[in-house]
Structure 1
Amino acid sequence: MSVESNWVRIIRWCEQHAPTTASRLRPPPGRQAVHAAEAATDRLWPAQLHEWFALHNGGFDSQPDALVLPSNEPISVALAVRTRDELVEIWQDNTDDLGGTETLMAQPAGTEIETFLPAFIPIGSDGAGDYLAVDTRGGDRAGCIVEFSKYGGTALCWDSIADMLESTATALEQQVPCQGWMPVVENGLLRWDYRP
């Protein structure tokens, strides 16, 4: 299924079971804003990343959070660029110690690495320093979703945004864990409990 069709499943479920969460998402930023963000990263964004930001512009900045992804809130396109730039700068010394930006960017997408690269475009935040990001490096897994830990390091989570949304929608509809996170609704809010 497509990015849009899986997103519709998630939003439909939230509207029925977690309406406060559904109401916390902002409308799409518009094509021009997305193209400007892509240009600012100096990376070619995969089609699914454009589709992702054509559906929403993250959650509103005030509580409650719109945790529609397993323990993560989608972030706005502007925050994606700002966060990426900040994390690249914060982790630059580590990147240099591991062989430098050019060497690490040449590795295929999905390759686990203990730093934050310019190829990573954040799309979700857990609010505590961990991020979901699209890996725009080349290779068979270009466009995959990695989780970046605030302690340094990435882990491959899904092969694409569509896969992430499909597994999230299935977890909601069938009330099963997604990447170890179990959906729970309290007072109209969706939250995720980790159950390894």
Structure 2
Amino acid sequence: MAPVTAASIAPPPSREARQEAEQATTLWTEELHEFFSLQGGQVFPVRSDQWVGTVLPDRGLLTLEGLIYRHRAAREMRANTDDLGPEWPEVVHTQEAGGTAETFLDAYVPFAEDGAGDFEYIDTRPGKHHGCVRYFMAIDGGGPIFDSLASYVAAVHHSVESPYDYNGLIPTRIDGALLWEVADASHLPAGSQPID
């Protein structure tokens, strides 16, 4: 449906490369291993005279190298949580997946980014929401966006296959590229609303 965007997706990395990325970050979920067994991230061309688009809504898929880099950089630039009280490190240590830590944790595995330093990640901590998808924007805030990577991909797939928006973005195909435009009333099917 979007051959230009599809052509920007790298082939799946080898099992050995996935295992090396896991060793460089944290223990991955089976779903994350499967995700990277199907694709190798998005590689954007150096030339910028043609829109390439993104598979995920305004998020480029990270390559394994990008995933390792983003994980390492986020670990090095952790938010200062001193104002949350002296007990905060212990609170974070006891949290389950989906809990807000207010900073990047080693148990987070980035898999897509917006190009401005924010990214989506898998929370690999144990608990009911183990493997949930969350969004990191300067600090770790908010709860899970989706309970699993599979449910996130399914929601995006549904949006691309239908005329419905995804969180206020309309999937649009232009010259073979999948682009995500801000929804306005003229794009929305009767009775639908952008998601707040």
TM-score tier by shorter-chain length is 0.7 to 0.9
Q: Superposition pairs for residues 90-101 of structure 1, below 5 Å?
A: 90-91=77-78, 93-95=79-81, 98=84, 99-100=88-89
Does the residue aligned with 1:124 lie in a helix, a strand or coil? strand
Kindly state the Cα deviation for residue 66 of structure 1 after the two structures are TM-superposed.
Answer: 4.9
Residues 107-163 of structure 1: CA deviation (Å, up to 9, x unaligned): 11112332211111000011111101000111100000001113x233321111100
Task: Work out which of the residue numbers 26, 33, 47 in structure 2 matches 1:50.
Answer: 33
Compare 62-71 and 18-27 and name the one that shifted more: 62-71
| Structure 1 segment 1-196 matched on structure 2, within 5 A | 16=1, 18-41=2-25, 43-62=26-45, 64-91=51-78, 93-95=79-81, 98=84, 99-100=88-89, 103-150=91-138, 152-155=139-142, 156-195=144-183, 196=194
Deviating runs (4+, > 4 A) in structure 1? 63-66, 95-98
Structure 1: gaps of 5 or more residues? 1-15
2:172–2:181 contact (8 Å) kept in structure 1 = yes
Secondary structure of the residue that 2:43 maps to in structure 1?
Answer: coil
Q: Over residues 141-191 of structure 1, what are the superposed CA-to-partner deviations in whole Å (9 max), with x where a residue is unaligned?
A: 0000001113x2333211111001100110000121223322122222111
Output the amino acid matched with 1:70. P
TM-score by length of 2: 0.82
Distance in 1, matches of 2:93 and 2:181, equals: 34
Q: Classify the secondary structure of the residue corresponding to 1:192.
A: strand
SS of equivalent residue, structure 2 residue 135:
strand
Tell me the distance in 2 between the aligned counterparts of 1:46 and 1:96: 31
**Secondary structure of 1:157's match?**
coil
Q: Would you say the 8 A contact 1:184–1:193 is kept in 2?
A: yes
Report the AA paired with residue 145 of structure 1: V
Deviates more, 1:66-75 or 1:139-148: 66-75
Per residue, is there more helix in 1 or in 2? 1
CA gap of 1:190–1:136, structure 2 versus 1, over 3 A, is same
The residue type paired with residue 22 of structure 1 is A
Task: State the 1:193 CA deviation.
Answer: 2.3
Tell me the matched-pair count.
176
Length-normalised TM-score, structure 1: 0.82
Deviates more, 1:118-127 or 1:104-113: 104-113
Q: Which amino acid aligns with 1:108?
A: E
The RMSD of aligned alpha carbons is 1.8
The structure whose Rg is larger is: 2
3-state SS in 2 of match to 1:170 = helix
